[in-house]
Structures are given as structure tokens and as C-alpha cells.
């Protein structure tokens, strides 16, 4: 493919497994953005004109191409993240999500018409896509999060320009190669490479923006979008709580929670980051959790050798280290893990179970983004709910216990996606036609659901067309 932009500069990129920094990844210059956006704006007209079934057919061809490139995609995203299990999932996600959203799109985007309450008038409901949508995505699941909003937006009829994190750009090349083989996607789906300044410049030029990343950057993105009065969808950080009630299946709870807290080495927005356990079962649960956490090996020496991959972004190690130091200084007990380990130039953390923690500790308040499992006892269900809701965040949560009691607690938890007798399950329903919408509460985000029909309707403006079907003057007209 001949990219619209001549790629001038390069990004320096650190390999998370060996710490080696390479400087051979090209970056997009900000002064190329106007041309990239103009090209997208022009291409969007024909893309919209294809209609939803036409767009589904084109994306199905793209999906088939991607299916034949799984090895390349997995290799590239493994280079970015240092892990292979999640990379396989990331590569498979694109086709899965195209299929899923292709089921939702025709229903969500169908127009309707009918009579109104005013005699002589009918209405038609129609949709107009946001013409050019910008997507800014983070490094933790770099490939999946770059397409998670792009796929429903494309189906809605938008052209999409994606700026993934500069930390993990290797996966972009194979994706661009696949896009280049689908002529209808030329200009309609474009990746650009660069850092935060390029993302900021993108916001200044597009008609709507989707952002996934930290709450601090999300505030800047929302402010910039607000100044331009463009739609803005921000999916931000979390400090997700899990509650284990008396009567819960402890073996099940420990296994689900240790998984939910350490998948992707805890570098997930919806990781379990705080665990509250009924005092009567606290010690038994803690022993089970510690036993399971100790069994999770580092993915060394090869990416397939264990479930716990390296830290992708080196500065994250300092945050995890600071949370551990603060917790230790304030009296926390470390049952396993507890150190940043250096192997072959990479930075690693084993699943770390902590007890004797309090809400005075950063590890119970601030997003850690690592495989830490701090466990705190509670004396009543009311106290458990109060502690779980004592957070500025509200992304997801989990509760384990007898079904009715767990459901009652789930309804009281202050977060948009709650797992009952499971943990970290909600993202597996992305694009699922059979699931409802969920919002991010508090500092975890703003602007609409990534699940259910709402996930596509975010990207269209709704139009009301009213028609006077009579030959009569309307009652409010001047008599002139
Ligand atoms: P950041 O907020 O640092 O960066 C996110 C993206 O924004 C990157 O592409 C970054 O570019 C870009 N960016 C940075 N500054 C600006 C700016 N001023 N204007 C526009 N764009 C900018 O997040 P991380 O990459 O560190 O990702 C981790 C965070 O993402 C965690 O807090 C996690 O919870 C959250 N997250 C949320 C999810 C959700 O669905 N709620 C899912 C996954 C992660 P660059 O990296 O090149 O500087």
C-alpha cells in the first residue's frame, strides 16, 4: 500500500521481554494529519452509501483476510506485549467482533416510521453517522483496543482514524497490509503512528473521538473534545472490587478471582484489584488464593512457558513498586510475590497476595495495573458494599455467594458491569447481540456502552424527519 502520508520520523520502542530499544518504527508527522482526515472524509461518503449490508460484506472480506494472517498478527502483537496467550486472543478477537457486530448493526441501524400524535403528520427516524471518528487506544491490549470501537463505528458508516499507543506499534504493520487488500477500506480505515501529541492533534480534526486509556489523559481528551463540541467516548481506569460472601463456593471464588486479577499480568482496566472477604471465611479463602497465586508461573524462558507475561510499559513497574512499598510500610502482609523481578532485560511481577490492608493504602485506592491481590476482611454485607463503593472508579465488580444474596449485593455495587459468581467476565460480551448495555461509572469513563445495540448507536446522530401528509395549512401558520 502507498500510505497517504510519507512516514518521516521514527518511534523508539522497547521490547518488554528483553528491554532492547529499537528506533525503526516510522511515525506520522502532525502536519500530515490534515491530508489523512480529508482523505477519510472523502472516502466516508461512498462507505456510507454502501448501506449496512454492503459494509457488512466488505468487513467480512477483511475478516477472511485476517483469518489467513493469524500467525503474523500473533507474532507482531507478541513482539509488542511480550506474551503469547493473550496475543492469540487479540488476533482472534477482530474476526469475532466483526461477526458479532454484523448481527447487531442491521437491527440497531434500521430506520422506522409511523404516525405521530398530531393528525396529518408522520415521522421517519433516521441515522447519520459521525463522518470521521478518531480512536486513541492504549498499550495493554494494543490490537484489540484499537479495533474495539472502530468495528461498530465502521458498521455505522463512519470513516475511522486510529492512533494506537506509541509503546506498542508493531501490530499496526500487518493490519495495514490486510486493509490494503480491501479496496473499499482505502481511506475508510487508517492507522497513524505517534505519541500523545499526535492524539491531541487528531482530536482537533475529527468529528468524534473514542479514547481508551488512563483517567488522567481521558480528562484532557474530554476537555479538548468539549471545546470543539464533538461527541466523546472515554473508557478509562478501574479499581475493581470483588466481594466474597459467607456461603460462597470458596474454591470457585479463589480460582475466578486469581484469574480475574492476573490475566494479562493485571494490565487490564477490568482486573480485580481489591478483594473483600467475610471475616468468618477470610483465613480459609486467603490460604486458597495464595496457593493458587503461587501456581501461576512467569512466562519464562519462552512466552508459552507460563501465564504471567512481562510488564509491557516499564514505568508501570515504578507504580507497582510504590504501591507495594506503601502497603508494607503501613502494615500489609505479603503472602507471595511482592517484588519487581528483572529477567533478561524484562520487568516481571509474580501474582502477589496481600492481607492486613486498609483503605489508607494506595493499593486499595489507586489503579495498580499489575497482578496484586490485596485481601481485606468485612464484618457485615453493608460494610462490604460500603468498602467496594469507596472508590472514584466504577468500571466492573464481582460478587461470590449464594445466588440471591450475591444478586442483591450486585445491585448495590457502584459499577457498570457486575459479575455474579465469576470475575472479569464482562469484556467477553463485547459486541454480543444477546447482552445489554453497560456504562462506566465515575472516573472510569463517559459516553456510552460498548455492549448491546447502544455500542453502535453511539456512532450515529439520530434524525427525526416529520412529514405533513395533508394539503391543509398547519394550525400554527400565520394567516397570510
Ligand atoms: P494513556 O492514557 O497514557 O494513553 C492512552 C492513549 O492516549 C495512548 O495512545 C497515548 O499515546 C494517548 N495520549 C497520551 N496523551 C494524550 C493527549 N494529551 N491527547 C490525546 N491522546 C493522548 O493510557 P495507557 O496507554 O497507559 O493505558 C493504560 C490505561 O488504560 C489504564 O488506566 C487502563 O485502566 C486504561 N484502560 C481502560 C480500558 C477500558 O475499557 N476502560 C481498557 C484498557 C485500558 P502514547 O501512549 O503514544 O503516549
How many angstroms does the Cα of residue 149 sit away from the middle of ligand 1? 14
- The yes-or-no answer to whether 7-236+445-466 and 240-429 have a common fold is no
| CB distance 389 to 413 below 8 Å | yes
Annotate 200-229 with b (16+ C-beta within 10 A) or e (fewer).
bbbbbbbbbbbbbbebebbebbbebbeeee
Res 448: pLDDT? 87
Rounded CA-CA distance 371/266 in Å is: 4
- CA dist., res. 306 & res. 84, Å (int): 10
When pLDDT is averaged across residues 122-146 and rounded to a whole number, the result is 97
Protein residue whose Cα sits closest to atom 42 of ligand 1: 269
Query: Is any ligand 1 atom within 6 A of the Cβ of residue 139?
Result: yes
Amino acid 10: pLDDT: 86
Say which DSSP state 353 is in.
E
**CB of 424 closer than 6 A to ligand 1?**
no
Q: Phi/psi zone of residue 133: left (φ > 0), alpha (ψ -120 to 50 degrees), beta?
A: beta
Residue 439 beta carbon below 6 angstroms from any ligand 1 atom: no
- Give the Å distance between the CA of 136 and the centre of ligand 1: 7
The CATH class that applies to domain 240-429 reads: alpha beta
| 235 classed as catalytic | yes
Residues 274-313: tens digit of each pLDDT: 999 999 999 999 999 999 999 999 999 999 999 999 999 9
Which of 269, 273, 336, 367 is labelled catalytic?
269
- Residue 256 Cα, ligand 1 centroid: separation in angstroms? 27
> Phi/psi of residue 35, each to 5°?
-65, -40
CB of 165 shorter than 6 A to ligand 1: yes
Cell of 6: 510519507
Looking at residues 391-395, what average pLDDT do you find? 98
Question: Is the CB of 238 within 6 Å of ligand 1?
Answer: yes
Domain ranges across the chain: 7-236+445-466, 240-429
Q: Is the minimum distance from the CB of 138 to ligand 1 under 6 angstroms?
A: yes
C-alpha to C-alpha distances, 6 to 2, 33, 36, 38, nearest whole angstrom: 9, 11, 11, 15
What are the φ and ψ backbone dihedral angles of 107, each rounded to 5 degrees? Answer: -75, -45
Could you give the CA distance from residue 228 to residue 208 in angstroms, rounded to a whole number? 10
Q: How many angstroms is it from 460 CA to the middle of ligand 1?
A: 24
Task: For residues 288 and 309, give the distance between their C-alpha atoms in angstroms, rounded to a whole number.
Answer: 23
Cβ–Cβ under 8 Å, residues 353 and 375: yes
269 part of the active site: yes
Q: Kindly give the number of the ligand 1 atom that is closest to the alpha carbon of 164.
A: 9
Average pLDDT over residues 217-241: 98
At residue 175, the 3 state secondary structure works out as helix
Whole-angstrom CA distances from 354 to 112, 293, 328, 361, 380 are 55, 11, 9, 12, 21
In the chain, the largest separation of any two C-alpha atoms, in whole Å, equals 86
Percent of the chain with pLDDT over 70: 98
Nearest CA to ligand 1 atom 38: 269
Contact, 188 vs 90, CB < 8 A? no
> What is the structure's pLDDT at 1?
38
Write the residue with the smallest CA distance to atom 43 of ligand 1.
269
For residues 431 and 101, the answer to whether their CB atoms sit within 8 Å is yes
Ranking 196-210, 324-338, 445-459 by mean pLDDT, the lowest is 445-459
Residue 441 has pLDDT above 50, yes or no: yes
Residue 2: predicted pLDDT: 35
Q: Classify domain 7-236+445-466 at the CATH superfamily level.
A: Aldehyde Dehydrogenase; Chain A, domain 1 (3.40.605.10)
Residue nearest to atom 8 of ligand 1 (CA): 165
Cα distances (Å, whole numbers) of residue 421 to 14, 245, 330: 38, 10, 31
Identify whether the C-beta of residue 363 lies closer than 8 Å to the C-beta of residue 328.
Answer: no
Nearest to 333 by CA among 292, 287, 366, 296: 287
Which one of the listed residues 235, 273, 336, 367 is annotated catalytic? Answer: 235
User: In the prediction, which pLDDT does 8 show?
Assistant: 55
Predicted structure pTM score: 0.95
Sorted by sequence, the CB contacts under 8 Å of residue 93 that are 6+ apart come out as: 143, 144, 147
**Please, which pLDDT band fits residue 331 given cuts at 50, 70 and 90?**
very high
How many CB atoms within 10 Å of residue 119?
10
Using the atom order of ligand 1, give the atom closest to the CA of residue 195.
47
Percentage of residues in the chain having pLDDT higher than 90: 95
pLDDT at 7 over 80: no
Residue of the CA atom closest to atom 19 of ligand 1: 200
- Say how far apart CA 195 and CA 82 lie, in whole Å: 21
Per-residue pLDDT reduced to its tens digit, 126-137: 999 999 999 999
Amino acid at each position: 500500500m502507498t500510505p497517504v502520508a510519507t512516514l518521516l520520523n521514527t518511534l523508539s520502542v522497547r521490547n518488554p521481554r528483553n528491554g532492547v530499544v529499537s528506533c525503526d518504527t516510522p511515525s506520522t508527522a502532525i502536519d500530515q494529519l490534515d491530508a489523512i482526515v480529508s482523505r477519510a472524509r472523502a472516502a466516508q461518503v461512498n462507505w456510507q452509501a454502501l448501506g449496512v449490508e454492503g459494509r457488512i460484506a466488505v468487513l467480512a472480506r477483511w475478516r477472511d483476510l485476517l483469518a489467513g494472517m493469524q500467525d503474523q498478527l500473533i507474532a507482531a502483537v507478541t513482539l509488542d506485549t511480550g506474551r503469547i496467550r493473550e496475543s492469540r486472543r487479540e488476533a482472534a478477537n477482530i474476526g469475532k467482533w466483526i461477526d458479532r457486530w454484523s448481527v447487531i448493526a442491521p437491527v440497531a441501524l434500521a430506520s422506522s416510521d409511523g404516525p405521530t400524535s398530531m393528525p396529518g403528520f408522520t415521522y421517519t427516524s433516521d441515522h447519520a453517522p459521525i463522518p470521521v471518528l478518531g480512536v486513541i487506544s492504549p498499550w495493554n491490549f494494543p490490537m484489540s483496543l484499537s479495533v474495539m470501537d472502530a468495528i461498530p463505528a465502521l458498521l455505522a458508516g463512519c470513516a475511522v482514524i486510529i492512533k494506537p499507543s506509541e509503546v506498542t506499534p508493531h501490530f499496526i504493520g500487518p493490519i495495514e497490509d490486510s486493509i490494503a487488500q480491501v479496496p473499499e477500506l482505502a481511506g475508510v480505515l487508517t492507522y497513524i503512528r505517534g505519541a500523545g501529541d499526535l492524539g491531541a492533534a487528531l482530536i482537533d480534526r475529527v468529528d468524534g473521538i473514542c479514547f481508551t486509556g488512563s483517567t488522567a489523559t481521558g480528562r484532557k481528551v474530554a476537555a479538548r473534545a468539549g471545546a470543539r463540541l464533538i461527541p466523546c467516548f472515554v473508557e478509562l481506569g478501574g479499581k475493581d472490587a470483588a466481594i466474597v460472601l459467607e456461603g460462597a463456593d470458596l474454591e470457585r471464588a479463589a480460582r475466578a478471582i486469581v484469574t480475574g486479577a492476573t490475566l494479562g499480568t493485571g494490565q487490564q482496566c477490568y482486573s480485580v484489584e481489591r478483594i473483600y472477604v467475610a471475616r468468618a471465611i477470610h483465613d480459609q479463602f486467603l490460604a486458597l488464593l495464595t496457593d493458587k497465586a503461587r501456581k501461576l508461573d512467569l512466562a519464562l524462558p519462552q512466552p508459552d512457558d507460563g501465564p504471567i507475561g512481562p510488564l509491557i510499559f516499564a514505568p508501570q513497574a515504578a507504580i507497582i513498586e510504590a504501591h507495594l512499598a506503601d502497603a508494607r510500610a503501613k502494615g500489609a502482609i505479603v503472602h507471595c510475590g511482592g517484588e519487581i523481578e528483572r529477567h533478561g532485560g524484562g520487568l516481571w511481577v509474580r501474582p502477589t497476595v496481600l492481607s492486613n490492608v486498609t483503605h489508607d493504602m494506595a493499593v486499595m485506592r489507586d489503579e495498580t495495573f499489575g497482578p496484586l491481590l490485596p485481601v481485606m476482611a468485612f464484618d457485615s454485607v453493608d460494610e462490604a458494599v460500603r468498602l467496594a463503593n469507596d472508590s472514584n472508579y466504577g468500571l466492573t465488580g464481582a460478587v461470590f455467594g449464594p445466588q440471591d444474596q450475591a444478586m442483591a449485593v450486585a445491585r448495590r455495587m457502584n459499577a457498570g458491569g457486575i459479575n455474579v459468581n465469576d470475575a472479569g467476565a464482562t469484556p467477553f460480551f463485547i459486541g454480543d447481540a444477546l447482552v445489554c448495555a453497560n456504562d462506566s461509572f465515575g472516573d472510569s469513563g463517559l459516553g456510552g456502552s460498548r455492549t448491546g445495540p447502544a455500542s453502535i448507536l453511539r456512532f450515529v446522530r439520530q434524525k427525526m424527519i416529520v412529514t405533513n401528509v395533508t394539503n391543509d395549512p398547519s394550525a400554527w401558520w400565520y394567516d397570510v
